[in-house]
Amino acid sequence: MLLLFCSIIFVLAASYFVANILDSKNIVNNIIFFFISAFANIVLTFEVLSLFSGITTSNVLFVNCLFALISILWWFAKKCPVLRYDIKDGFRRLLNSLKLDKTLIYLMLGFLFACIISLVLIAIIPGVDVDSSSYRVVRSLFWIEHGNLNQFPAAEARMLMFPINSEVLYAWFILFLKSDSFLFIFNFCGLWLFLVSVYGILSQITISLRKKLWVVLISASIPFVILRYTGLETGVIIAALVLSCIYLYIEYLKNYKNSLCFMAALALALGIGTKTTVILMMPAIVLWFIWYSIYCEKKYFYKPIIRFSLYFLISFLLFASYNYVSNFINYGHFISALNVAKGHSNTDGFLSTFSNLYRYIFDFFAFPEFRWSAELSSKILRLREGLLTLINANNGFGKTSAIYTFVHYTVSSASSSFGFFGPLLFIPAYIYTVYKSFCVKNRKTLLLVSLVYIFLVTVFIMSYKLAFMSYNIRFISTFVLLTVPVLAYFYNKRYGFYKVLISFLAIWYMFALSVNVSLYPVKGLLNAFNQGATLDKIREIEECSFFTEDLDINNYKVRDVFCMVNKSIKKFRPENRILYFASAEDSLMPIKRLMFEGYRIDVALAADIDKVNIDDYNIIITCNDSQTSAVIWSFDKELDKYGYNYNKGILCNYLSPDDKFIKKLSEERDLVDKSTCYFNKEFYKNYNLKLLNKTTYRLGSREDGSVERKTFKLYENMNNPVIR
């Protein structure tokens, strides 16, 4: 913990000095520079060390110290600039705004309450959810173990191919703490960058402090945002980076300071290095940059665009390109392997874009924060699909197996969106903003409506490029956050009752939603503490089960079977090396975390068994005697006439998205969706493996009524026996 504290101090110190060097007069710019500099500092540290496989605590601490020292020397060279902000005047203006509008007081109290609850949860809840256990956080453990950010043989495509910047932040903490504690703090910081960026854009359109505060506090109360106070979904971070980019570019065309242009480019590059969602936004963002440059610079519009493009290219290469280049080297495509990209693509042509758009409109009518929402969502779902059937619209799914029958009813970061703000606030705001842009064409109106157009263009592009999935609500919610400045139109005397209604909903969300998150409800946590649970026990339950009001901390139902596998592994000494043939979407976190207790647990691909030295391992683990992989590393395998490859007791086939067998792998590589390999008796005989333990877990029932089970087998390698 002490070393992490030192590392944090070095990073914050470097960011503080850089922020003051770049702008010591404008507090909004200064805060945005601080956050962006800190993020870039951590990413660059890990990327540089990764080139030498040198990601260790001592090396990270050394580079942190070096960057801090360089920033201090630079600060002294610039004659020690310090932010000049009149705190007394700012406090006086704030008090005056609160006196003039008592609603702001209650909104601020709600926001403070939600922040306190979030900080408590950050302190006690590990960084765990379904995605983090299968790829988001667990990939950080592999990086730490390997000492670099390079890709490695694994069955889960997302763990290898997705952008890395947010996971680099997790790796930073995990490296020092040897646990996944406090990881939610990064989303909490992203929230503040988002709110400051919203405030900055509102400051560009000359409105009152009361109106700016109201919009910022309403933004902080959107269900999608509240659930990002804690959690690992990066939607708010992405919105924060894109909005800060837009704000800084507006500032640049006002003040013509190169630092503003560079930091705007850096913010956008960091966003692309965090999530590919930003790539969907890029056409709309580019159009916005061109439009705003023409609006401000007229015939010389190309000059700021050229400067920004140059800075963006440099920033992208340094802070975003690492995994994109790795993807190109390994799979021939920058974003991901072709089979992974096709799995999410809309393959039904241009007309299906409109049916997808139609479906996304219904995402504005999801209310998972209420128990009755499941029934309502089911009716909305039937209405949505019934109308499409009635007009015989192209369904937009084709052979992509899109999940379109999912019902949003859990208060979780994966399914929540806007709540009542969808139909009551955002839809009216968009309609009014577009209408007003035709009536009034001043700078304020044009700036606000341009944000709406960024949203509309991005959603259109997503509808065209991606197959519709209910989980895409996360993308829609991120895009919506770019438009929150338009809510300023509804802070108006003419809409007094409407403003009060929206404020009441916001207050209710901040007080009620923050304590009722599905994965960690406060009542469930209090119940566990009342039974004498320690922090370690709380973290164990969070990782393996659900917190409910009737939870028995000594006898609870395990939701993640890999927690049971964890216990099976711990029966053996840490000196044993273990190999697990993990399948795609396996929850690896509970077993990979054992590395901090001295265990060495590797994963491998059965299809590439020739590249694996089984005799390096004492224990081999399989699940259901098979492995399903979304990652194909080798396309030079010979398949028989039925589409099978048999090698050393492992039978593998390769399937297309519609589950048809691939017969000629090298010629049909663009059609491959996944591989499935089966271990037979010859495999265990060839490698002299002896069964140690066999355990079957019942997971639940499938849609067809059959029971889903997982059977884990632990084998001893008799050529390298278990160390007892």
For 93-161, give the secondary structure using H, E and C: HHHHHHHHCCHHHHHHHHHHHHHHHHHHHHHHCCCCCHHHHHHHCHHHHHHHHHCCCCCCCCCCHHHHH
- Per-residue pLDDT reduced to its tens digit, 518-532: 778 888 888 888 888
Residues 117 and 52 in one domain: no
Return the pLDDT at 709: 85
pLDDT tens-digit map of 262-304:
999 999 999 999 999 999 999 999 999 999 999 999 999 999 9
Residue 296 has a pLDDT of: 93
Specify whether 112 is located in the same domain as 225: yes
| Same domain for 306 and 273 | yes
Could you give the CA distance from residue 337 to residue 506 in angstroms, rounded to a whole number? 42
The answer to whether residue 149 is domain-embedded is no
Q: Are residues 547 and 579 in the same domain?
A: no
Cβ burial of 274 (10 Å; 0-12, 13-18, 19+) is buried
Q: What is the pLDDT of residue 637?
A: 85
What pLDDT was estimated at residue 401? 34
Partners of 580 in the β-ladder: 603, 621
Domain boundary among 557, 585, 615: 557
Q: Name which residue leads in pLDDT, 706 or 171.
A: 171
Together in a domain, 413 and 529: no
DSSP state for residue 223 in the 8-state scheme: H
Residues 406, 508 share a domain: yes
Report whether pLDDT(408) > 50.
no
- Chain-centre distance of CA 652, in angstroms? 33
**Is 58 among the domain residues?**
yes
- Total residues belonging to the chain: 724
Q: What is the pLDDT of residue 664?
A: 83
Q: Is 704 helix (H, G, I), strand (E, B) or coil?
A: coil
Sequence-separated (6 or more) residues with CB below 8 Å from residue 409: 368, 373, 374, 377, 415
pLDDT digits (tens, 9 = 90+) for 246-255: 999 999 999 9
Element (H, E) at 227: helix 223-229
Give the pair of three-digit tokens for residue 602: 């590797």
Would you call 183 helix, strand, or coil by DSSP?
A: coil
Residue 402 has pLDDT above 50, yes or no: no
Instruction: For residue 443, count other CB atoms closer than 10 A to its CB.
Output: 12
Are 319 and 425 found together in one domain?
yes
Q: What confidence tier does 409 reach under pLDDT thresholds 50, 70, 90?
A: very low
CA proximity to 291, closest of 442, 444, 437, 446: 446
Note whether residue 504 is domain-resident: yes
**Highest mean pLDDT: which of 139-153, 227-241, 401-415?**
139-153
Q: Which helix (H) or strand (E) holds 256?
A: none
Residues spanned by the domain of 31: 1-77
Query: In this predicted model, which residue has the larger pLDDT, 155 or 344?
Result: 155
Residues 6+ apart with CB under 8 A from 121: 184, 230, 517, 520
Same domain, 41 and 102: no
Label residue 528 left, alpha or beta by phi (over 0 means left) and psi (-120 to 50 means alpha).
alpha
Q: Is the pLDDT of residue 506 over 90?
A: yes
Single residue among 487, 518, 549 that ends a domain in this structure: 518
Quick: pLDDT tens for 571-581: 999 999 999 99
Residue 383 scores a pLDDT above 60: yes
Q: How far is CA 435 from CA 343, 431, 446, 454, 457, in A?
A: 38, 6, 11, 16, 17
Q: What is the pLDDT of residue 371?
A: 65
Instruction: Judge if 539 and 582 occupy the same domain.
Output: no
The answer to whether 595 touches 578, Cβ cutoff 8 Å, is no
Separation CA 249–CA 289 (nearest Å): 8
Contact 50, 103 (CB under 8 A): no
User: Looking at the predicted structure, is the pLDDT value of residue 399 above 50?
Assistant: no
Band (134; pLDDT cuts 50, 70, 90): confident
Boundary of a domain, candidates 465, 499, 518: 518
Cα 404 to Cα 381: distance, rounded to the nearest angstrom? 9
| Contacts of 94 by beta carbon, 8 Å cutoff, 6+ apart | 209, 213
Average pLDDT of the residues of the chain: 88
**Is residue 106 located within the same domain as residue 1?**
no
Position 142 in a domain: no
Of the two residues 224 and 379, the one the predictor is more confident about is 224
Q: What is the pLDDT of residue 241?
A: 98
**pLDDT-derived band of residue 378, with 50, 70 and 90 as boundaries?**
low
Structural domains counted in the chain: 4
Q: Is residue 137 part of a domain?
A: no
Q: Are residues 355 and 249 in the same domain?
A: yes
Longest dimension (CA), the chain: 81
List phi, psi (to 5°) of 504.
-60, -45
Q: What's the sign of the alpha-carbon dihedral 327, 42, 413, 104?
A: negative
Residue 153 main-chain phi, psi, to 5 deg: -65, 115
Cβ contact 481:239 at 8 Å: yes
* Of residues 227, 236, 216, the one with CA closest to residue 35: 236
Each residue of 507-560: pLDDT tens digit?
999 998 888 887 788 888 888 888 888 888 888 888 888 777 678 888 888 878
Give domain status of residue 165, yes or no: no
* Domain assignment present for 150: no
Give residue 209's identity as a one-letter amino acid code: L
Give domain status of residue 148, yes or no: no
HEC assignment per residue over 511-547: HHHHHCCCCCCHHHHHHHHHCCCCHHHHHHHHHHCCC
Q: Are residues 345 and 246 in the same domain?
A: yes
Cα distances from 76 to residues 73, 506, 685, in angstroms, run: 5, 45, 69
Q: For 386-396, how does the pLDDT look when each residue is reduced to its tens digit (9 = 90+)? A: 777 666 554 44
Q: How confident is the model at residue 616 (pLDDT cuts 50, 70, 90)?
A: very high
Tell how strand 689-701 and strand 577-580 pair up: unpaired
pLDDT above 80: residue 703: no
Stated pTM of the model = 0.93
